[in-house]
Structure 1
Amino acid sequence: MNVEQPVPESAWRKSSYSSEEGGECVEVAVRPGRVHVRDSKDITRAALAVHPTAWTAFVGFAAP
């Protein structure tokens, strides 16, 4: 069984598109073999973990 270790709080980085006024707030933590994404307004919810290749493809698609 492969169990991932919790992501340390110091690893999370807030998106530069997120504002302090609420709304869309996303945080990302890059770890070996995984990119974790979570809602910074509710960090008690589970984060989404994706392979770095999938994250790179998503960012390339979503970037303006």
Structure 2
Amino acid sequence: RGPLSAVAHQLIGGLHQSMFYVGSRTIPELQDRGQFVRITSAGLHESHPHDIQMTVEAPNYSGR
């Protein structure tokens, strides 16, 4: 656990990236343009990099 500011920073960064991906400038535009796609846990695992030796793990990714 850490300070709330670190969590808020991650959430805001994710929101900015989501808005960029769909081309929205406002949150209401994001709600209109956004689309959720459900994937399986196996699909999620495959969508992450694998078979790569990392020297330092990313702080926001917990591999299995």
TM-score by length of 2: 0.28
More strand by percentage: 1
TM-score of the superposed pair, with normalisation by structure 1: 0.28
